[in-house]
Amino acid sequence: MSRTLKIALAQLNPTVGDVSGNAEKVRAARAEAARLGARVVMLPELFLAGYPPEDLVLKPAFQDACREACEALARETADGGPGVLVGLPWAEEGRLTNAYVHLDGGRIAAVRHKVDLPNYGVFDEKRVFAPGPMPGPVVIGGVRVGIPICEDIWTDAVVECLAETGAEILLVPNGSPYWRDKNDTRLNVAVSRTAETGLPLVYLNQVCGQDELVFDGASFVLNGDSSLAVQMPAFTEAVVLTEWEERAEGWVCLPGPKALLESGDEGDYAACVLGLRDYVNKNRFPGVVLGLSGGVDSAICAAMAVDALGADRVRCIMLPYRFTSAESLADAQACAEALGVRYEVVPIADPVEGFERALAPLFEGMGRDITEENLQSRARGTLLMSVSNKFGPMVVTTGNKSEMSVGYATLYGDMNGGFNPIKDLYKMQVYRLCELRNRWKPAGALGPDGAVIPVNILTKAPSAELRENQTDQDSLPPYEILDGVLERLVEREMRVSEIVSDGFDLETVKKIERLLYLAEYKRRQSAPGVKVTLRSFGRDRRYPIVNRFRDPGGPAFEPDPTLARNAVRSSTEVIDF
């Protein structure tokens, strides 16, 4: 009779630092695994701590809390129920590692440590963890199981070691953040490991928002022939039972559920909703408030807020001045009514003109300029923050990536707020997501079905309405051009000459590059926001504020190999001397 094994996969939403709450989630998952008849329940990387814990993990009291929770869970497995596989920081002999433990029979049956610590992009694990030794398999129900932890499968060394030491199944716990089309990348990496070893692989990811990062779940199981056996959903918690049989060709996972995954714009929208929901809820805000201007950015933010939290937790305020058009007033009201949110109009003439009167002696003899425009934005920011202070809701910031890139935003004005769900979305994508939301919404969204963003918001010329007849294109290139150049400068770090070769005007590219660098000081003071691109501002892209470099836009520089050889020779001579 062939051997069998049942493994429950718990794709769950932890909270960083909530060790007791995360442990309770483990207990609930174990109870569900017992109901399903599983031999063991598997949870994501560093689940007891929450991921990523950043420098919190260096705090001895936090390390103690995680170990105490782990040992309590271990003692509970003496009841004969399912074993537990769970991650936590592990301090021992002066070293702190990213560990994964097998709890069974009332004890900590095995500990494995992450070997390959990522230190690029949003990852900074070498800052806080020491690498572990090459692992061998763990025995679960008589089966030799290899446990490479997240980054350990992105190269072949750890998995090769596990295969050579007798692993029969690979269980991979992950804290893998979302960005557009990330699922294809993960799948390709996992297929590479199964193709090299012939071993089946479980890829289990957490699902949550944590500061700027969103973890989308989308866990899966591959058999040894790289065929997909199970696909768990994205952006939602789930506990799924996987059933395994040993056959002549090795262990095989029987076919299970295969969820359809959101991708492209749908994935980005769902990520923004999850990121906003968890940021608000995990920080225990009662709801959110935002300025609804009648423009596209605040409209999509309002829709995301309602989808994340429900209309009863979203408050929208129109803050008109004398440059606000009747069209914007009508559009904002129509959007609020479509979303079903609380909506109020608070004119800002008195505070703006009060500021101007107070400043008049200082500004005597000077004409009106951007200073007076920014006073309007700062008055709005102050009023929204006052509502937040008085009633408790968090202010949602509504600036898109195009604006944040070139500084088309006002510090302490429209940049005020606690969180920005569209911070990593370029302007043209904001338009696409508005059109998308009018015909679709993600699973679990709490907002109404159907069109929620008035068509007129999508068709009129974008404007900050800070002066008469103003449009964004008075100051900026058309967004189609601006976004194309920014994507090449920010995501791809292309030379100016390369961007010009793609068909963009040289002077336009140089102007955009200059604005991008000049706005760095503003971005350092901006609210956190959801990451959806490969390279977001903040964790991914860390540029100096003081920076005089500008790409001259000439041909690509080719180093002189003769000079390089001379430098090496000269260095050798100095050392020999």
The H-or-E segment that residue 97 falls in is strand 95-104
Measured in whole angstroms, the distance separating CA 313 from the mean position of its chain's CA atoms is 23
Residues of the chain above pLDDT 70, percent: 95
Instruction: Specify the pLDDT at position 318.
Output: 96
pLDDT digits (tens, 9 = 90+) for 493-546: 999 999 999 999 999 999 999 999 999 999 999 999 999 998 888 877 888 788
Q: Average pLDDT in the 440-450 region?
A: 95
Q: Does residue 67 surpass a pLDDT of 80?
A: yes
For residues 215 and 174, give the distance between their C-alpha atoms in angstroms, rounded to a whole number: 10
CA dihedral sign of residues 21, 44, 5, 113: negative
DSSP three-state, residue 38: coil
Domain boundaries, the chain: 4-259, 266-473
For residues 571 and 577, give the distance between their C-alpha atoms in angstroms, rounded to a whole number: 10
Quick check: is 335 catalytic? no
- For residue 387, give the amino acid letter: V
Q: Does residue 563 surpass a pLDDT of 70?
A: no
CA dihedral sign of residues 431, 436, 442, 447: positive
Domain 4-259 shares a fold with domain 266-473:
no
Q: Does residue 424 surpass a pLDDT of 50?
A: yes
Quick check: is 92 catalytic? no
For residues 193 and 162, give the distance between their C-alpha atoms in angstroms, rounded to a whole number: 11
Mean pLDDT of the chain: 92
Selected catalytic residue, list 25, 66, 70, 114: 114
Q: Average pLDDT in the 548-557 region?
A: 79
Query: Which stretches of 108-251 are DSSP H helices?
Result: 157-164, 182-197
* Contact (CB, 8 A) for 204 and 44: yes
Q: Does residue 46 surpass a pLDDT of 90?
A: yes
Q: Does residue 460 surpass a pLDDT of 90?
A: no
Selected catalytic residue, list 25, 70, 125, 150: 150
* Contact (CB, 8 A) for 152 and 112: no
CA proximity to 309, closest of 332, 347, 342: 342
DSSP string of 378-418, one letter each residue: HHHHHHHHHHHHHH-PEEBP---HHHHHHT-S-TTTTT-SS
pLDDT band of residue 574 (cuts 50, 70, 90) is: very low
Q: Average pLDDT in the 50-72 region?
A: 95
Selected catalytic residue, list 25, 45, 125, 403: 45
Q: Average pLDDT in the 413-442 region?
A: 95
- For residue 28, give the amino acid letter: A
Instruction: Specify the pLDDT at position 474.
Output: 64
pLDDT band of residue 547 (cuts 50, 70, 90) is: confident
Instruction: Specify the pLDDT at position 545.
Output: 82
| Token code pair at residue 531 | 């990451």
DSSP three-state, residue 34: helix
Q: Does residue 569 surpass a pLDDT of 60?
A: no
Q: Does residue 343 surpass a pLDDT of 50?
A: yes
Q: 431-463 in b/e burial notation, b at 16+ Cβ within 10 A?
A: bbbbebbbeebbeebbbeeeebbbeebeebebb
> For domain 266-473, is the CATH number 3.40.50.300?
no
First vs last Cα of the chain: how many Å apart? 74
Instruction: Specify the pLDDT at position 327.
Output: 92
CA proximity to 327, closest of 471, 453, 460, 430: 460
pLDDT digits (tens, 9 = 90+) for 107-152: 999 999 999 999 888 888 989 999 999 999 999 999 999 999 999 9
* Contact (CB, 8 A) for 88 and 48: yes
How many degrees, rounded to 5, is the angle at CA 304 between CA 300 and CA 305?
A: 115
- How many residues can be counted in the chain? 577
Quick check: is 6 catalytic? no
Least confident residue range of 28-32, 265-269, 400-404, 533-537: 533-537
Instruction: Specify the pLDDT at position 98.
Output: 96
- What does residue 145 show for φ and ψ, rounded to 5 degrees? -110, 130
Instruction: Specify the pLDDT at position 173.
Output: 98
**pLDDT higher for 561 or 476?**
476
| Fold designation for 4-259 | Nitrilase/N-carbamoyl-D-aminoacid amidohydrolase (3.60.110)
